[in-house]
Structure 1
Amino acid sequence: MTKNARLLLIAFVSGALVMVFEIVGARILAPYIGTSFYVWTALIGFVLASLSLGYFVGGRLIDEKPQEILIAKALFMAAISLFGVYLFKDDFLQWINQHVIGIKASALMATFVLFVPPSFFLGNISPMVSRLILNEIQTAGKSMGGVFAYSSIGSLLGTFLAGFVLIPIFPLSTIMLGLVGIALSLSLYLFFLEKKWLWVFVGFALLCMLVYMGTTKKADSSYILETESSYNSIKIYPSNDYKTGDSILMMQLGRQRAGGMSLVGNPLPFNYLYYFRLAEHFKPGFSKALMLGGAAYSFPKYVLKNYPETHIDVVEIDEKLSQIAYDFFELPKNNARLTIFHEDARTFLNKQKDKYDVIYSDTFCSAISLPYQLTSIEAVQLQYDMLEEDGLLIVNVIQAVSGR
């Protein structure tokens, strides 16, 4: 491989790494601080800012010492910082949840700490490649344009690869280890070409560690199922109700306990679900119900069992959760009184013309936040318009009865 081809390949791969990391970053943050515009704004803003700083610093460094070893070191530092995100993201984000007040402050602090260092080092690479590939000033435009074209094409590929392939198929931990491994392998290759044997030894040792971590499963895992979908990191495991101590089969999405099934014969697994029974008092004899949010289908199953004259429609965005509910949570198949719609609850509301006696809403995009598109005045009006006369809307929200 020629020097120019090698450098353009590095520009291409680094562009892809940036975008995969950014998109995966939103998935990393979602279970802790949600997916609001504040989170996306902070994530995009800090990635762009750190890339810009990386371009500036990388350009200055390569002008002073125009050697490929600088690209190797930048890739190595990117790998180390990505590895740090892999190791400490959950503990750090849990600390954010416990000590930082407000979604804006949480989003800013989380994205700054986790995403600035890797993006900065990856930002070093494009100007370094441009300087090394430039032979004469008369072809500077062509050379620079080629580098940024390769980097942009890599970013485009990384975007679609992350969204359509990696996240739906692989666990986040595997994707993060893959990013570390790619950056580390490229740096190792350049160190080898430059005959920097100490760097080669350290890089190879780290690469072996990554392979070991990626191929070794935790021996003490208590999960019955651990998988990924297009929308969630899903775990199924036996647990206990924190108030009653009763045995429960739990469904966890990200860090959020999203559903369950009692293993001791209780009609519902969680106390809050009993509040949905208020429909019996306010709308006795209701015959048609809608539930936004299915997850483990705890309450829809209760409706089918205890209200024999009631038909219930359930809107669940994640089709994989419905399949898991069939396989693990005893959701009955082919029940004529149950209709499932696999789509976003807001798009369902936009086009649905049916009327309902009762609408239940139990949707979350993190442990404490409702999807923003379901909290607008327009969304509430749509739900109101779908109710029959004297219909009832019951919404699950996380809020203290009094105080802050």
Structure 2
Amino acid sequence: MKAKDQALTIYDVAQRAGVSIASVSRVLNGHTTPRPETRERVLQAVAELGFVPDGAARALSSRLKEVVAVVYRQMWLDSADEPVFESEAENLAFVDVMNRGIEVAARRRNFDLLMSSVDVHDHLPVARLHSLAGKSDGILLHDRVLTPAAIVRLADRLPVVTLAGTPTRASVNVVGDNATGMRELVQHLIEVHDARTIAFLSGHADSPDSVMRAKAVQETAAAHGVTALLGPAWEGEYSANGGARVIRNLLDGGGTLPDAIACANDQSALGAVYALRERGYGIPEDVLVTGFDDIPLARHTSPPLTTVRQPVQQMGTAAFDALYSMIDGKKPEQRQLTLPVELVLRGSCGCVPQNAGGRGLS
């Protein structure tokens, strides 16, 4: 029992009832969404504790908006980009699948989502994000929307979870196992297909996922005495247009194709394949091409794309669940949640497409 000079709060009611503060808030504010058994448990806890919401307590319960903001990075095509990819700006396959997982989890908790995008080249969207923070109970950030220092400052206002970002002392990060996935993929290209030069066609230069995957390519290649090609000339920006542009620039400049091109994601791999075939090169006859993510389109290309499958929708669900727990006043048990990935071998690396699943990575 609390000391007499310590006022009861809805946190005490939630603990006694064994429900979330969100459920307590709904009951106290007369919402009809809580289940009857939940409402009964809350009212019983209120009676047992002798809880009487004073002004501060009512303000606390009414401040819960049941809204989470989701912010992702958007890259817009310009007039110089390849017309065949002009609809890509509206087709963010990876982000869309992840947001679906967020939405499913939010619906289970009777939360709404406030969706917003920032330009991929906007490195100072702080004012806009603080505005979103004022309209929501927590915020989910895709990729590297903010620097780690800016995330910590934002987390002073409300709970923050990043997706494929960087964990901080104040936020939680949810990510696929980039290092293991890319390491297994590169080992396969070397040991099974005898690739001696492997290029890494990267994502955004500041993307934590892309940086981690690049490091895995470089370290695995070095361990096998294989040449790894990385750097600005191989930056594909996670887009099909970017992947095609890298290949065209290489060939137009008289460059030589490596034995294999490991792309940072499936969309840039699809662009690379498009540009290679446009110039008369065969995949995998002339060069091996692989992706990362296993978006639905990857298995339907010609040839089907060898890739690393991430549980993308589950990542979105896990991110919302972690954020909801923080909104509910619980301290995260861990700041980094790493989900397992799976190597999927198909025709673009010269393997016979697998009928099901892939090879699990531990």
TM-score w.r.t. length of structure 1: 0.30
Higher helix proportion (structure 1 or 2) = 1
Task: Select the structure of larger CA radius of gyration.
Answer: 1
State the TM-score, normalized to the length of structure 2.
0.32
